[in-house]
A and B are shown apart, each in its own frame.
Chain A
Amino acid sequence: MDNFIHQFVAGLANGGIYASIAVALVMIHRSTQLLNFAQGEMAMFSTFIAWALMQSGFGYWSAFGVTIVVSFLMGLCVERFIIRPVAAHTRSHLPLVVLFIGMLLIFNSMAGWIWSYDVRPFPSPFPDVRILGGYATAHQVGSILITLLVVVGLYLFFRFTSLGLAMRAAAQNPASSRLVGIRVDLMLGLGWGLAAAIGAVAGMMVAHVLFLEPNMLGAAVLYGFAAALVGGIDNPWGAVLGGFLLGVIENLLGTYVIGDDMKLTLALVIIVAVMTFRPAGLFGVTMVRRV
């Protein structure tokens, strides 16, 4: 029973990471109908930037802040200079997937080239103690809280601000958005920027647990996708729930049923199962595809 609770909490903590990545993926999908395969690598790259800042003297939170801003700009630039020119000229998904893979490779190899493939520790802003009766570390609880903070912040932003409303509109109906004066292209860029910033947060949380190296988030992205799909690919709340659910299930199954080494296979099975049997996810709305 004891172990169960440990694994449960650990699952929640992992789930928080998956949830963050899933939210970032959902954000991009909502505005562009695209799955950003490079999300994990971008987040990893951001985390390295944070690390580099800390190495040159920044405190944790200032590095955190700067990294978020830089990542936001990075996402903006990627959308503006890499995605937009291509997406404007083609309806086919192939060039875009190729672009994403290209970006994945570039971010990964750039990180490896600049900072090498050595594994290094990444600090946590939370004290190194166990809390909640010893079942969880402060970092685990902290990262869950931060994930929730981010998601709630996003919700408030989209629901109650004018810009958030405009971004939602631009994602749903770009043509009509133009007719009310919304600069749709800018909204898209902002969406990418936000997603990149969220990814950076996820990266910085997970780096403490997984240790920072260029291949840190390779598998996590898959989980992020699985979580986003389970929750309904356009539903950020679903993504969050999906993330936590996935984290817990993965950990519990890994501990009690199938063994640690089959976790990735589990992600595969979930992804394929969801896409086959319930493509709208648990909470999504099936969109009627207009002929």
Chain B
Amino acid sequence: MSTATAELLLDVKNLNAAYGSTAVLHGLGFTLQRGGITAILGANGAGKTTTLRAICGMCTRQGEVWFEGERIDHRKTEQITRLGVAHVPDGRGTFTDLTVEENLRLGAYTRRDRAGIAQDFELVYGYFPKLAERRHQQAGTLSGGEQQMLAISRALMLRPRLLLLDEPSFGLAPLVVKEIFAIMRRINQQQKVSLLLVEQNANLALDLADHAYLLETGRIVLSGPSAEIRQNDSVRRAYLGT
């Protein structure tokens, strides 16, 4: 266990990732402090989704990934999950043939504390009352926004210390997105879960996040507090449309 990285929640060093023979990430490096919300911005194909996948062991990767001082880059996805990293994947990844409640139960699959799990059900239904209404409905019949809520909730049922979100705004109506992003902030503050989100919608992301990274063709080209990134000229031109 490296003492230098003990305070950091996530420490990524020199991460390369590839699909087959196509390299997507080139020597990526960044860190996450405990407690904050961090955004990774970039255009389509920049490698944002791949970054999250690489952290979770869902693709071929080389390099170092440290989570809470433990090295996870050679571990299997299910092991990484058990360490406290929850990933809401690109496309939500809900179990469409199972009910809302079953989806949530699965989120807590690795936990043994019955009381805690019951509490978290309450918590999650508190954040997303719509899910409570539909708890016995098949997840596949939920609307896009509700599925996103379900996906986030399922991730929360893990009581993770790090929550990864892949394009949470994708395909959702603006009002719904606003609602979800507001709840994400509450989750971060109330549950002390650190968030790492990947977003194409830079505006939304910079509003929510404390810190941001800009990814271009598999490399980090810009990094800093969101306010700074927001002021950056090239970011404004390319991603914020101002």
Contact = CB atoms under 8 A, between A and B. Distances in A.
Given A162-B105, A166-B109, A175-B58, A182 B78 contact: yes
A182 B98 CA distance: 16
Contacts of B154: 180
Q: Which of A166, A169, A178, A181 has the most CB of B within 10 A?
A: A181
Nearest to A159: B102
A179 B95 contact: no
Nearest to B83: A181
Q: Which of B95, B107, B154 has the most CB of A within 10 A?
A: B95
A180 B110 contact: yes
Interface residues of B, number: 24
A225 B240 CA distance: 58
Interface string B32-50: 0000000000000000000
A180 B106 contact: yes
Contacts of A182: 78, 106, 109
Contact of B93 (A176, A181, A183): A176
A173 B89 CA distance: 13
Given A168-B98, A172-B98, A173-B95, A179 B81 contact: yes
A180 B89 contact: no
A184 interface: yes
B228 interface: no
A148 B61 CA distance: 48
Interface string B89-100: 100011111100
B82 A181 contact: yes
Interface residues of A, number: 17
A149 interface: no
A237 B18 CA distance: 43
Interface in B58-90: 58, 76-78, 81-82, 86-87, 89
Contacts of A162: 105, 109
B77 A165 contact: no
B106 A166 contact: yes
Contacts of A173: 93, 95-96
Contact of A172 (B87, B97, B109, B158): B97
Q: Which of A172, A178, A182, A183 has the most CB of B within 10 A?
A: A178
A168 B81 CA distance: 19
A286 B59 CA distance: 30
Contacts of A165: 98, 102, 105-106, 109
B56 interface: yes
Given A162-B105, A162-B109, A165-B102, A178 B95 contact: no
Given A179-B86, A181-B110, A172 B78 contact: no
Given A162-B109, A166-B109, A181 B95 contact: no
Contacts of B93: 173, 175-176, 179
Given A172-B95, A179-B86, A179-B89, A184 B78 contact: yes
A63 B95 CA distance: 40
Given A165-B102, A175-B58, A175-B89, A180 B109 contact: yes
A163 to B, nearest CB: 10
A172 B78 CA distance: 16
Nearest to A285: B97
Contacts of B158: 180-181
A178 B81 contact: yes
Nearest to B94: A176
A178 B78 CA distance: 5
User: Shortest 4 CB-CB distances between A and B: which pairs?
Assistant: A181-B110, A178-B77, A176-B93, A181-B81
5 contacts: A162-B109, A173-B95, A179-B56, A180-B106, A181-B81
Given A178-B81, A180-B107, 5 more contacts: A166-B106, A169-B98, A175-B58, A178-B77, A183-B78
Interface of B: 56, 58, 76-78, 81-82, 86-87, 89, 93-98, 102, 105-107, 109-110, 154, 158
Interface of A: 162, 165-166, 168-169, 172-173, 175-184
